[in-house]
Chain A
Amino acid sequence: MAMNASEIERLIKDGIPDAIIVIEDLRGDGDHYAARVTSRAFIGKSRVQQHQMVYQALKGKMGDELHALALQTTAPSDA
């Protein structure tokens, strides 16, 4: 039930094309990641909405194949 970091990055990028993504494999087990995502698409959105956009890009894999992804989202203006 693990996913590799490049697949996570690809899915996010497919959903949010201008996203700048930094992914860290927290335990080296392919199951616990931290991702920092920056995108202009986040401007004017609440944190909940920003995270929902990333989850949407992950197409239901979050909470399923992807057990743990600590998310931090940023809009470029407030970076």
Chain B
Amino acid sequence: MITNPVIERIKQDISDNEVVLYMKGSPVFPQCGFSAAVVQILSNLGVRFKGIDVLTDPSLRQGIKEFSQWPTVPQLYVKGDFVGGCDIVREMYESGELEELLTERGVAAAQQA
């Protein structure tokens, strides 16, 4: 079997980090409104996550779409599983499902001050 190094790297990243967001730009400087919206939601929930900027690497930008069979970025992964893009994350946040999922999967939220 031929292994695609980009796909292998994605698998590695989503297994090494509890919460991973593939996005345009960085969490501090998102380059797209949809990415910014998901960063905002994760920050509201006090979730630590690894942001991976797909704009720095065209092969990653393409690879992540093939990996998840999902045509757009941002893409949120929790404990290795694809959760969704901006619309789904927003819907789940508003209904409380996202927090539930994170708790269920044992993702520690930062202690609310």
The residues of A with any CB-CB pair to B shorter than 8 Å are 47-48, 51-52, 55, 60, 62-64, 68, 70-72
Number of interface residues of B (CB under 8 A): 15
Complex CA–CA separation, A48 to B91 (angstroms): 12
Q: Known contacts being A48-B82, A62-B71, A63-B71, is A68 close to B34, with CB within 8 Å?
A: yes
The residues of B with any CB-CB pair to A shorter than 8 Å are 34, 65, 69-72, 82-88, 91-92
In contact, A51 and B65 (Cβ under 8 angstroms): no
In contact, B34 and A52 (Cβ under 8 angstroms): no
In contact, B34 and A51 (Cβ under 8 angstroms): no
Q: State how many angstroms separate the Cβ of B36 from the closest Cβ of chain A.
A: 13
Residue in A closest to B97 when the chains form the complex, CB atoms: A47
Contact of A48 among B65, B71, B84 (CB under 8 A): B84
Residue in A closest to B68 when the chains form the complex, CB atoms: A48
In contact, A52 and B87 (Cβ under 8 angstroms): no
Q: State how many angstroms separate the Cβ of A75 from the closest Cβ of chain B.
A: 14
- Pick the 10 closest A-B CB pairs, nearest first: A63-B71, A62-B71, A63-B72, A47-B88, A71-B87, A55-B71, A70-B87, A48-B84, A52-B69, A47-B84
Which residues of the partner chain B approach A60 to less than 8 Å between Cβ atoms?
Answer: 71
Instruction: Kindly list 13 other residue pairs between chains A and B, CB separation below 8 angstroms, not including A48-B70, A48-B83.
Output: A47-B88, A47-B92, A51-B84, A51-B85, A51-B87, A51-B88, A55-B71, A62-B71, A63-B65, A63-B72, A70-B86, A72-B87, A72-B91
Residue in A closest to B84 when the chains form the complex, CB atoms: A48
In contact, B82 and A62 (Cβ under 8 angstroms): no
Complex CA–CA separation, A63 to B68 (angstroms): 14
Complex CA–CA separation, A16 to B83 (angstroms): 23
11 sample A-B contacts, Cβ–Cβ < 8 Å, listed by A number: A48-B84, A51-B70, A51-B85, A51-B87, A51-B88, A62-B71, A62-B72, A63-B65, A63-B72, A70-B86, A70-B87
